[in-house]
């Protein structure tokens, strides 16, 4: 998709002159507060009076577990049994059971490669300088985060919170955690938005009967998001302090400064992402691998059931479908599936073929990381306990 201090120098010369994160405002001791230092975590006193963040926990009451199980079961039943009947595709379940095993095995392998790309990108963004986070910890953090994203109806917030907690426990200062998380997401979603623009325009202008709503509208959306992020990158990294100063201090100044803190952090994160691209680190290709191999799973799923739509059609329908992840549904169940099937149908793919292929793809995308991710969650807890007992020095290249 890292230590207690951020005083590590850059590889050559002064870090403050070469780093994309050097404009991050560093709060003074007087400015610091428990909320600023430890967002979203429970705090218990550690040895020597040091605050220790507890792992983000999900309070699993009987009612909550039952509601989650009922929702996932109902959604799966609707998608695999009710939806095909509504569309007049009564043989869908039988067709799913008779997919080509070889192509389905290829799909599973491609999904594993997608996770590998995600881990590589994570290390490229977060593991810079001397760090406690080795390859095993990188796997645990990313897989546990992916599992949390799929299981909890929080539009991805659960995975982000767990990742941020693990990074903090590795010793990374909170401002750098926030900056690099934004950089990580910016790198991932730059590929997403760029694909919407390029593929949408290409399909609309160079193919016949490509609907405006499934091509140009997403392209406009993607271009708008890219423009917003580039504009945000122009904000100064200390915008929150500048706003507070311009407001002449006092309560109003503090409130204005807090309101400007999020745009300032976003600006630093986007600039960090741009700086990482400028370094031409090949590990950043992990962002392309994450999306590309996952699209490959969908492509292999079509072949498993005897279909082969144009690759541009698969890419467009895939990314339009992924917009369903913004809905507060566990793993986007229902939202992603429905949007993806609808996009394929609008682009001229047989409804029967689209339904079975998308449902097969979603089985890999949702379930394949869930069980390993749950195991990784408990492994990560043990890893963090080892970090707490270790005196290994860590430092971070800004």
pLDDT of residue 136: 95
∠ CA 143-292-187 to the nearest 5 degrees?
70
Signed CA dihedral, 304, 309, 311, 315: sign only: negative
For 83-131, give the DSSP string: HHHHTT-TTHHHHHHT--HHHHHHHHHHHHHHHHHHHHHHHHHH--SS-
Burial class of residue 94 (count of CB atoms within 10 Å of its CB; 0-12, 13-18, 19+):
exposed
Give 10-residue mean pLDDT values along the chain (398 residues): 39 38 38 35 41 49 55 60 57 66 95 97 90 93 88 68 92 90 96 97 93 96 96 76 58 59 83 94 96 97 92 97 77 77 93 88 86 91 88 54
For residue 171, what are the β-bridge partners? Answer: none
- Write down the pLDDT at residue 369: 85
Per-residue model confidence (pLDDT) at position 331: 57
- Identify the three-state secondary structure at position 133: coil
| Residue 288 pLDDT | 97
- Residue 86: per-residue pLDDT: 54
Instruction: Map out the domains of the chain as residue ranges.
Output: 70-229+272-389
Query: For residue 384, which of 141, 142, 139, 170 has the smallest C-alpha distance?
Result: 170
Q: Residue 91 has which token pair?
A: 């043989």
Bin 68: left if φ > 0, else alpha if -120 < ψ < 50, else beta.
alpha
């Amino acid at each position: 998709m890292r230590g207690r201090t951020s005083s590590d120098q850059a590889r050559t010369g002064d870090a403050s002159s070469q780093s994309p994160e050097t404009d991050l405002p560093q709060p003074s001791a007087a400015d610091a507060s428990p909320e600023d230092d430890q967002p979203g975590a429970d705090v218990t006193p550690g040895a020597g009076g040091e605050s220790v963040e507890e792992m983000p926990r999900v309070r699993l009451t009987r009612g909550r577990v039952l509601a989650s199980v009922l929702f996932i079961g109902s959604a799966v039943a609707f998608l695999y049994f009710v939806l095909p009947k509504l569309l007049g595709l009564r043989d869908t379940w039988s067709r799913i059971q008779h997919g080509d095993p070889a192509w389905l095995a290829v799909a599973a392998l491609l999904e594993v490669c997608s996770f590998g790309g995600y881990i590589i990108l994570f290390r490229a963004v977060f593991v810079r300088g001397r760090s406690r986070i080795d390859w095993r910890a990188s796997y645990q953090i990313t897989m546990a985060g992916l599992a949390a994203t799929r299981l909890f109806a929080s539009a991805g917030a659960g995975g982000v919170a767990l990742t941020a907690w693990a990074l903090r426990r590795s010793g990374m200062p909170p401002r750098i955690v926030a900056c690099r998380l934004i950089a990580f997401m910016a790198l991932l979603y730059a590929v997403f938005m760029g694909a919407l623009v390029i593929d949408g325009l290409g399909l609309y202008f160079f193919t016949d009967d490509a609907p405006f709503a499934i091509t140009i509208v997403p392209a406009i959306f993607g271009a708008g998001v890219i423009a917003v992020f580039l504009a945000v990158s122009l904000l100064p990294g200390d915008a929150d302090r500048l706003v507070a100063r311009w407001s002449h201090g006092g309560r109003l100044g503090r409130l204005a400064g807090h309101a400007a803190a999020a745009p300032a952090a976003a600006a630093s994160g986007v600039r960090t992402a741009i700086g990482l691209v400028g370094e031409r680190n090949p590990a950043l290709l992990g962002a392309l691998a994450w999306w590309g191999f996952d699209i490959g799973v969908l492509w292999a799923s079509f072949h498993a059931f005897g279909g082969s739509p144009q690759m541009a059609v698969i890419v467009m329908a895939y990314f339009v479908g992924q917009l369903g992840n913004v809905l507060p549904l566990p793993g986007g169940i229902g939202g992603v599936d429905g949007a993806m099937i609808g996009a394929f149908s609008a682009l001229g793919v047989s409804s029967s073929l689209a339904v079975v292929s998308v449902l097969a793809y979603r089985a890999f995308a949702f379930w394949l990381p869930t069980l390993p991710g749950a195991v990784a969650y408990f492994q990560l807890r043990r890893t963090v306990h080892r970090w707490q007992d270790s005196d290994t020095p860590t430092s971070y290249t800004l």
